[in-house]
Amino acid sequence: MPEDKILSVAAYPPPTRWHPHREVHWEEEFFREVAQRVDQMAVMMYDSAIRWQKPYQHLMSRWTTDVLNWSGDTKVLLGIPVYDDTGVKYHFPRVENLRNALLGIHAGLSKFKSVPGNYAGVAIYCAWEMDDQEWEYFRKEFEKAL
């Protein structure tokens, strides 16, 4: 790759007992292998199949610490859900949403002495579905983690 280009990948999150399909999760060894070969990872931290807010927030916290610890110096964007796929068995919008995702990420980041250098922020999926109220909430709450 030319030095002025960035190789970025959409990455699967670590395994969880909550999700029935293990193939959409990356084990630590594979995650570390990919991280060594790219400049940036956007980890898709949604579609967990969790139906309750607190377990999802806890999972987001754990995924935040795991992926930041596993990615070495590679920059990481934590993918957060703001879409409404009602009626599917892997995404529950009343649980997987902007508020719960940020609460979990903040909890995960608070486990570090300072914000890790490889933490590049969050990646909103999908920004075109956000309304003004969500953007206002995001701006206010996202800055708490900095």
pLDDT tens-place string over residues 59-118: 999 999 999 999 999 999 999 999 888 788 888 999 999 999 999 999 999 999 999 999
pTM across the whole model: 0.92
pLDDT tens digit string along 125-137? 988 889 999 999 9
pLDDT at 71: 98
The residue type of 21 is H
pLDDT at 144: 67
pLDDT tens digit string along 12-31? 999 988 877 777 899 999 99
Distances (CA, A) of 65 to 1, 99, 101, 125: 29, 18, 14, 20
Q: Are 70 and 28 in contact (CB under 8 A)?
A: yes
